[in-house]
Amino acid sequence: AAGVIQSPRHLIKEKRETATLKCYPIPRHDTVYWYQQGPGQDPQFLISFYEKMQSDKGSIPDRFSAQQFSDYHSELNMSSLELGDSALYFCASSPDRRRGNEQFFGPGTRLTVL
Amino acid sequence: QKEVEQDPGPLSVPEGAIVSLNCTYSNSAFQYFMWYRQYSRKGPELLMYTYSSGNKEDGRFTAQVDKSSKYISLFIRDSQPSDSATYLCALYTGTASKLTFGTGTRLQVTL
């Protein structure tokens, strides 16, 4: 079965640089979620999109922005990167926003900020 | 105090043992209760979700929810070395988008 696709899988950036993470949801899933997982921590919700509109916002820094496109893929844009942004970034998708209990996660993008 | 508490382990059991993993929560707004399995450096994999109090079985896995005690469990029967992973409980209110995770319990099944 098709799963959530994330790219790149690994990313190394310098402080103050910009990064863009991409997420391709499971086919026919229209809701996308972004989470950040620090070392040894549980995933923390950042933001979600339904039908290309922002649905919910969590602990996402103002330096980060995200959007969902017409083909339902989503991009997380991170600017002025800080050392503390080093983490695993997961994208998840669900069949629709009313089925948020069925969030399927991608393999993650490991971001390292030097 | 975190909304969801989960013993981080590590929990080490011999192959074939029955494993019990647990979470407690404080917010009665949570309506859905999920268990995810996460292998090292991989994304969380949805194992099961439940809605109401009681038991739900799927193969070797049984999820149990007691809403009155705000206590959820995952039982793994006939544990295998391939079950070695971190198990995260995740709770969902049904209104806000986010899943609220426990810290995860690291399980090691030894031969």
**In this predicted model, what pLDDT tens digit does every residue of A83-114 receive, in sequence order?**
999 999 999 999 988 888 999 999 999 999 99
* pLDDT for residue A69: 96
* pLDDT for residue A98: 87
Using a 10 angstrom Cβ sphere, with 0-12 exposed, 13-18 middle and 19 or more buried, the burial of residue B26 is: exposed
- Please, what is the average pLDDT of chain B? 94
Q: Percent of chain B beyond pLDDT 70?
A: 100
Contact yes or no for A42 and B36 at CB 8 A? no
Of B92, B100, B87, B107, nearest in space to B35 by CA:
B87
User: ∠ CA(B109), CA(B18), CA(A1), 5° rounding?
Assistant: 70
CA dihedral defined by B18, B20, B21, B23, rounded to 10 degrees? 160
**A42 contacts on B by Cβ (under 8 Å):** 88, 101-104
Q: Are A47 and A92 in contact (CB under 8 A)?
A: no
- Please, what is the average pLDDT of chain A? 95
**B104 contacts on A by Cβ (under 8 Å):** 42
Q: How far apart are the CA of A81 and the nearest CA of chain B, in angstroms?
A: 22
**In this predicted model, what pLDDT tens digit does every residue of B50-104 receive, in sequence order?**
998 899 999 999 999 999 999 999 999 999 999 999 999 999 998 888 999 999 9
